[in-house]
Structure 1
């Protein structure tokens, strides 16, 4: 690994370092951080790092690609705040499928107020698995979240009262199926519930509190011995549950959905909202198919988000930007 960071295009070496730090603040399955960067004099390359894949939970690397899309948006926003325009090309080399995107800092252009607000939210965003307050998210904010997804060529389906119980059942079924798989459980324990700060993985401190538990937050990140109380105690009675979907299911569509996902998350963070993921329903093929039907059949579900007003939670650790 090359730890020397050089200027790239219109960015100084210090600016390159700062935009890479912003990129790696993106969310990823089990905080696996499955990305690496290659910098040349002209471009920053975003590459998939399969050594940080989670192959049992994510055998097709769909969530890996989503995470890299989230890192790509952070990188793009961070470059914009320097007053430089990031020229992005997705999958520029069909002979190199792990080269997901190139970003060329190619010219001067002032950042917009929205760019600055979203970039400022990057270090504030957390995955919050704790109970949220029983406060509704306003219709105006819901519309803003939808617009954030649409701005990145994706769609945010907000589930209504009739759809939420069906999703809850899908989550429970997917969760039970995963826990019945010894390989999944072994992988899960490798990546979560650790006391030491390894730079990646999910520390126990970032999981839901041992009590109370809720059907929306099925995964806990202790050592697997956390107590269980009655479902729903202490949790918001009507959470805002959204499905981020794409209009196709190609790798490029998944990468674009990751960009959209992160724009939704940053828009929520900038508005004072907390967010977390309900990944089980999209990780199990059978329940993902049913989830697609639940949201109308026209979208490919890429991730499920729980959004509301939550308490502060600690940041998850990050590795130094991996460059080559």
Structure 2
């Protein structure tokens, strides 16, 4: 059966609802989609108006965000019975076209664990609250390493000394983010109150700061005391994973996004929660210093905090009708 006869409006809604559930920097949702029915291809484009010029001047985090959406789209397509061929940056003449996903009916069984990963999409939420401190088993961490490798990236699990070094870099970046006017104002601008558009960070999703000062969580409120939650006790020995790529080009940023979401979904399957420590990635010198020379000339794309705790609540997403381009 031709896919163009089965990819109806309801099926398209299912695929794109999964795609837009992906995480994005400041929940900016910097993506839009278009279906090319003549080739059964979904185009994934960047929304430049959702860029963060202070925190992400090169668009690296934007590409990672879009890559995460592509991973969800591919997972949903496979779950619903399509083969999904992803091409990154397919047209040099269209720099905003970051990926295409070509769909065809698949006679092959779903890739291993696709159903579990698809189910995890609706349960994956960024957690900004303390974890229990329970240790994540080595077998689960090994699975997360393989998830990153499947997308062309690497996931490292630093020892305690290296973790402390990375936390110190993150703390310095957080200090800069809250004292530099451009970064501080941009971060605050993405906080959304009641009745705001369904993107950005709702006030209700802001997390507390670590009472001990050891774990530098992002302070979106940035010296607005009225929006601060009381400090809380976070885990004493955070489990931090480091997502890296061999190169640092736009295609690598997209692969990092695919890998990030694959890791997050695999973690969610095991009820492991996650939050992103991205602050040091927003300052070129600190990002460079986040590299571990023992791992070779790799480029750090994200620090991921892993642990156990409540599932958390979803942040709002734009409806499919507002991210799907249609021909007039």
In the superposition, the TM-score normalised over structure 2's length comes to: 0.91
Q: Which runs of 4+ in 1 moved over 6 A?
A: none
Deviation at 1:95, TM superposition (A): 0.6
Unmatched 5+ residue regions in structure 2? none
**TM-score normalised by length of structure 1:** 0.92
Task: Quote how far apart the aligned CAs of 1:269 are.
Answer: 0.5
Q: How does 1:122-201 map to 2 (within 5 A)?
A: 122-192=121-191, 194-201=193-200
Match of 1:29 among 25, 29, 33: 25
Instruction: Indicate conservation of the 8 Å contact 1:148/1:267, yes or no.
Output: yes
**Is the 8 Å Cα contact of residues 30 and 202 (structure 1) preserved in structure 2?**
yes
Q: Distance in 2 between matches of 1:100 and 1:216?
A: 34
Q: Match of 1:4?
A: none
Q: Per-residue displacement from partner, 1:235-266 (whole Å, max 9, x unpaired)? A: 11111101100111010011011100100000
Q: What SS does the corresponding residue of 2:69 show, helix, strand or coil?
A: helix
Q: Distance in 1 between matches of 2:292 and 2:111?
A: 38
Using the TM superposition, give the Cα deviation of residue 195 of structure 1 relative to its aligned residue in structure 2, in angstroms.
Answer: 3.9
Query: Residue 93 of structure 2 corresponds to which residue in structure 1?
Result: 95
C-alpha separation in 2, matches of 1:176 and 1:127: 22
Q: In the alignment, which residue of structure 1 is the partner of 2:9?
A: 13
Any conservation in 2 of the 1:278–1:306 contact (CA below 8 Å)?
yes
Residue range with higher mean Cα deviation, 10-19 or 265-274: 10-19
Q: 3-state DSSP class of the match of 2:161?
A: coil
Say whether the 8 Å CA contact 1:8–1:16 is kept in structure 2: no
Q: For the Cα contact (< 8 Å) 1:275–1:305, is it kept in 2?
A: yes
5+ residue gaps, structure 1, are: 1-6
Q: More displaced, 190-199 or 268-277?
A: 190-199
Q: 1:170-196: CA deviations, max 9, x gaps?
A: 011111122222111111111025344
Residues 10, 84 of structure 1: 8 Å contact kept? no
How far apart, in 2, do the equivalents of 1:177 and 1:220 lie?
11
Tell me, yes or no, if the aligned pair for 1:10 and 1:106 is still in contact at 8 Å. Answer: no
CA deviation after TM superposition for structure 1 residue 8, in Å: 4.8
CA RMSD of aligned residues (A): 1.9
CA distance in 2 between partners of 1:160 and 1:47 (Å): 38
The worse-fitting range, judged by mean Cα deviation, of 184-193 and 203-212 is 203-212
- Partners of 2:97 and 2:251 in 1: CA distance: 11
Contact in 1 for aligned 2:120/2:265 (Cα 8 Å): yes
Contact kept? 1:243, 1:304, Cα under 8 Å: yes
Change (3 A) 1:87 1:64: same
Q: CA deviation at 1:211?
A: 7.3
Query: In structure 2, how many angstroms separate the alpha carbons of the residues matched to 1:236 and 1:158?
Result: 17
**Separation (CA, whole Å) in 1 of partners of 2:158 and 2:240:** 6
Which residue matches 2:324? Answer: 323
Deviation at 1:10, TM superposition (A): 4.8
Q: 2: CA distance between counterparts of 1:9 and 1:300?
A: 43
Aligned residues: 315
What CA distance in whole angstroms lies between the structure 1 residues aligned with 2:294 and 2:23?
24
Decide whether the 8 Å contact of 1:93 with 1:99 is kept in 2. yes
Match of 2:66 among 65, 68, 73: 68
Are 2:277 and 1:278 aligned? yes
